[in-house]
Structure 1
Amino acid sequence: MKAFVTGAAGFIGSHLTDALLAAGHTVTGLDDLSTGRLENLSRAGEHPRFRFRQGTVLDRARVEEDAHGADVVFHFAAAVGAFVIRDRTLESLRTNVHGTENVVEAAYRNNATLLLASTSEIYGKNTLAGLREDDDRVLGSPLKSRWSYAEAKALDESLVDAYCRQRGLAAVIVRLFNTVGPRQTGRYGMVIPRFVRQALTGEPLTVFGTGTQIRCFCHVADVVPALIALAHEPRAFGSAVNLGSTEQVTISDLADRVVAATRSRSEVRYLPYEQAYGPGYEDMLRRVPDCTLAKELVGFEAHTTLDEIIDSVAEEIARRVRQPTVPRR
């Protein structure tokens, strides 16, 4: 199989690239390196069946060229992270809307299957425990940059759905719920790597808001096989599919567990949303997926526990900051 992966140097994209190559496939990876890192592709870069192309999905000709001959297109290139969306709202919208349009059209023109990486942000402020793919979206004002990412990804999903219904594109939409693991950076707002780095360097762990927000975190090693399987499952085409863990944790408890796992002496401090993100920031109390559909389609289950996730992230970040980790008791 020939695969084209956009956002290949990113966190999930690089793990997906490694898995595709290990399975014997040929991969072309595209990334503009705005948030992705070449070091994420250190293993893939030496592989004879991998070709890396530096460029943006906003370049229609480049996307069309790189998608030529692909059997499957995995679209992971996107502007992500709360701070990126806040600070570069216009650029983020262009990437997440026009860039996706270019990728979807290229997949269609090359008769390739498409997997679109979407997000749990789609559900907005819907706090149901066990969000299903057909549940309603509850969003704040479109004039708040906080919701521009969710709006853009919703438009992406509608675009893919229209291509499926009107043009016969074989495509599946995957809504990811807080995928985490090695190679993820906390620089753009991702909470687990940020907490771990703070704990390992002795800084206070900064919890934004009250800390009562409930989230579920899923290890990238559990997600990637499901991505590949869904791209090859015709029953998934034309659908959106949740992928995530159902192990719930409050952000306050998460901070405490990171401190315990790293045996850090760091304090946990609370920072109001207004100070962290600016005026008018809105968040949701709970985000928990129902992954029944993914299990029915490809047997998906999240096997990695939260404690194991924290350990794996801590091990990698400790190498970066040159501090040894202590094995969990």
Structure 2
Amino acid sequence: MSDRVLITGGAGFIGSHLSDALLQAGHHVHVIDDLSTGAIENIRHLKDHPRFGYTIDSCANRAVVAELVDEVDVVYHLAAAVGVELIVESPVRTIETNVHCTEVVLSQAAKKRKPVLLASTSEVYGKSAALPFREDGDLVMGATTKGRWSYACSKAIDEFLALAYWNERKLPTVVVRLFNTVGPRQTGQYGMVVPKFVRGALAERDLQVFGDGAQSRCFGHVADVVRAMAALMADDRHSGEVFNVGTTEEVTIRELADRVVAATGSSSGIVSVPYETAYGTGFEDMHRRVPDTTKIREAIGWAPERDLDRILADVVAYEKTKLPL
């Protein structure tokens, strides 16, 4: 069955890949994006597709969102402030974008009972040391005086709001907590480490590793992530649920830099940069971020198919197409 789908933040990295996947599956897709972090370039290849449309506007525009929601069957809410650098530099924008836009989307969807998938983040686990992170685990936030945690807190509020709409108003909502999604089209502009490292290596620049480089992450391929999103929304039994989406292949940032240098055949060096230099005094980071993906595997049989080597190969191949001839 073909659905009419709205993707907020649809010109972003993940949103554009989700558009590709849903169109390939036969759905009609409309995206809304204010291009604050997304880019027309990400969806240019779709502009002439007969089942694709787009609106350049903010999800804060309640009238526009109401009209678009009215015309679709399902909403994927991906629009958000993203990237550590953006969060540190623009905490007001981060909080306002994440909380206000989510309220607008959920309120309009509730009026017409349109199911919503909310894209959240592993950042909500905060400083928890209960690894691997489970969806029912405690969230441990840092102090409000540390702007680093404004993103995590705003996304946690988004989750509470989405789940409240399900519990109180029976709006079908599903929350996915994404763990470091990477792949082609991702910008390194706001601190995303994989494209930043790959572009640096291809340019033979030194790669800057913040802190001691011992902090570890699990990187998931965007194609695996959007497959999980689509599968969750195709099954109406998961309303009111939260799911981790990511891989359990853990790598330190220093090891990542080494692997990017190897994958690109670069002669780039690797240098350490103190957090204070990169983000200012008092910046706090998570040492490890590893998901427990048991819940989504048992719910829909999902598991990642692409490992870090494949991710790096795909990102390197994409970034090479962007190099000047």
Specify the TM-score bucket, using the shorter chain as the normaliser. Answer: over 0.9
Residue among 54, 57, 64 paired with 1:55 = 57
Find the counterpart in structure 1 of residue 304 from structure 2: 302
Q: Post-superposition shift, 1:103?
A: 0.5
Residue among 184, 195, 198 paired with 2:197 = 195
Counterpart-to-counterpart distance in 2, 1:265 and 1:63? 49
Residue among 278, 283, 293 paired with 1:291 = 293
**2:241 is aligned with what amino acid?**
S
CA contact (8 A) 1:117 1:174 kept: yes
Find the counterpart in structure 1 of residue 47 from structure 2: 45
Find the counterpart in structure 2 of residue 148 from structure 1: 150
Find the counterpart in structure 2 of residue 327 from structure 1: none
Gaps of 5+ in 2: none
Identical residues among aligned pairs (%): 52
CA contact (8 A) 1:2 1:71 kept: yes
Find the counterpart in structure 2 of residue 178 from structure 1: 180
Q: Post-superposition shift, 1:127?
A: 2.9
Q: Post-superposition shift, 1:90?
A: 0.7
Q: Secondary structure at the match of 1:197?
A: helix
Question: Superposed, which structure 2 residues align to 1:94-113 within 5 Å?
Answer: 94-113=96-115
Question: Superposed, which structure 2 residues align to 1:57-96 within 5 Å?
Answer: 57-96=59-98
Question: Superposed, which structure 2 residues align to 1:249-260 within 5 Å?
Answer: 249-260=251-262
Find the counterpart in structure 1 of residue 128 from structure 2: 126
Counterpart-to-counterpart distance in 2, 1:179 and 1:190? 10
Counterpart-to-counterpart distance in 2, 1:132 and 1:35? 29
Find the counterpart in structure 1 of residue 277 from structure 2: 275
Find the counterpart in structure 2 of residue 165 from structure 1: 167
Counterpart-to-counterpart distance in 2, 1:196 and 1:26? 34
Find the counterpart in structure 2 of residue 319 from structure 1: 321
Q: Post-superposition shift, 1:264?
A: 0.3
Counterpart-to-counterpart distance in 2, 1:87 and 1:285? 22
Q: Post-superposition shift, 1:235?
A: 2.5
Q: Post-superposition shift, 1:43?
A: 2.1
Provide the TM-score with structure 2 as the length reference. 0.98
Q: Post-superposition shift, 1:69?
A: 2.6
Runs of 4+ with >4 A deviation: none
Q: Post-superposition shift, 1:322?
A: 3.5
CA contact (8 A) 1:28 1:50 kept: yes
**Per-residue deviation, residues 256-291 of structure 1 (Å, max 9, x unmatched):** 000011010000000000000111100011100001
Counterpart-to-counterpart distance in 1, 2:129 and 2:197? 24
**Per-residue deviation, residues 142-170 of structure 1 (Å, max 9, x unmatched):** 12210000010010001011110110011
Counterpart-to-counterpart distance in 2, 1:287 and 1:91? 25
Counterpart-to-counterpart distance in 2, 1:308 and 1:165? 40
**1:316 is aligned with what amino acid?**
Y
Find the counterpart in structure 1 of residue 222 from structure 2: 220
Q: Secondary structure at the match of 2:132?
A: strand
Q: Secondary structure at the match of 1:321?
A: coil
CA contact (8 A) 1:295 1:301 kept: yes
Counterpart-to-counterpart distance in 2, 1:160 and 1:21? 26
Find the counterpart in structure 2 of residue 16 from structure 1: 18
CA contact (8 A) 1:70 1:110 kept: no
Counterpart-to-counterpart distance in 2, 1:162 and 1:139? 21
Counterpart-to-counterpart distance in 1, 2:242 and 2:279? 30
Residue among 241, 244, 252 paired with 1:242 = 244
**1:249 is aligned with what amino acid?**
V
Find the counterpart in structure 1 of residue 29 from structure 2: 27
**1:183 is aligned with what amino acid?**
R
CA contact (8 A) 1:11 1:183 kept: yes
Q: Secondary structure at the match of 2:322?
A: helix
Q: Post-superposition shift, 1:128?
A: 3.0
**Per-residue deviation, residues 191-226 of structure 1 (Å, max 9, x unmatched):** 000000000001100001110001100001111111
Q: Post-superposition shift, 1:8?
A: 0.4
**2:157 is aligned with what amino acid?**
L
**1:140 is aligned with what amino acid?**
G
**Per-residue deviation, residues 89-128 of structure 1 (Å, max 9, x unmatched):** 1112111000100001111112111000000001011133
More deviation in 313-322 or 176-185?
313-322
RMSD over aligned Cα, in angstroms?
0.9
